[in-house]
């Protein structure tokens, strides 16, 4: 993703987090000192500002990332066991999994190059995070 599009996306994220940090009463009264209820939202807003600075400096690049793991097996019981193993391993690493059953053909088609738009996940990831996830 280019720098301008990432900046536009970050502006939307920042606006949403700042709205959450102020609350409705703070926005109406234009109070610049929000209550303690929005501390987590304010921290997220500062994270977005930090990401905007990294983007502007060109230190890292941002983009949307999707990961898919497609398992094939003729024997359904062996496939079920492999699916459980993959779910357990990825769960232990902190990743969530979704096993497609009803929509498996569509999920497979969307895994092919050129069909990535329906599977875009948010939020943006920067290039160093993606590098940490790639196998060495």
Q: Is residue 44 one of the residues assigned to a domain?
A: yes
Give φ, ψ of 75 to 5 degrees.
-85, 115
Q: Is residue 43 one of the residues assigned to a domain?
A: yes
Q: Is residue 106 one of the residues assigned to a domain?
A: yes
Contact present, 51 and 20 (Cβ < 8 Å): no
Residues 88 and 114 in one domain: yes
Lowest mean per-residue pLDDT among 22-31, 87-96, 122-131? 22-31
Residues 46 and 80 in one domain: no
Cβ atoms within 10 Å of 9's Cβ, excluding its own: 20
Q: Is residue 136 one of the residues assigned to a domain?
A: no
Domain that holds residue 14: 3-62
Q: Does the pLDDT of residue 15 top 90, yes or no?
A: no
Residues 55 and 83 in one domain: no
Residues 49 and 85 in one domain: no
- Measured distance CA(48)–CA(56) in Å, rounded: 12
More confident residue, 130 or 74: 74
Q: Is residue 30 one of the residues assigned to a domain?
A: yes
Q: What is the mean pLDDT of residues 3-22?
A: 79
- Measured distance CA(122)–CA(59) in Å, rounded: 21
More confident residue, 80 or 4: 80
What pTM was estimated for this model as a whole? 0.56
**Per-residue pLDDT, 22:** 65
What are 41-97's pLDDT values in tens digits?
A: 778 778 888 888 888 888 888 888 777 888 989 999 999 999 999 999 999 988 888
Residues 48 and 99 in one domain: no
If one counts the domains in the chain, the total is: 2
Q: Is residue 128 one of the residues assigned to a domain?
A: no
Closest by CA to 55, choosing from 127, 121, 133, 120, is 127
């Amino acid at each position: 993703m280019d720098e301008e599009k990432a900046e536009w996306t970050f502006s939307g994220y920042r606006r949403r987090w700042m709205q959450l940090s102020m609350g409705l009463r703070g926005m109406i009264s234009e109070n610049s000192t929000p209550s303690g209820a929005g501390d987590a939202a304010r921290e997220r807003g500062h994270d977005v500002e930090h990401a905007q600075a990294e983007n502007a400096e060109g230190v890292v690049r941002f983009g949307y990332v999707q990961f898919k793991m497609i398992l094939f097996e003729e024997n359904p019981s062996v496939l079920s066991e492999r699916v459980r193993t993959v779910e357990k391993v990825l769960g232990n690493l902190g990743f969530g999994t979704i096993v497609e059953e009803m929509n498996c053909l569509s999920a497979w088609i969307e895994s092919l190059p050129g069909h990535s738009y329906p599977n875009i996940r948010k939020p943006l990831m920067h290039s160093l995070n993606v590098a940490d996830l790639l196998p060495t």
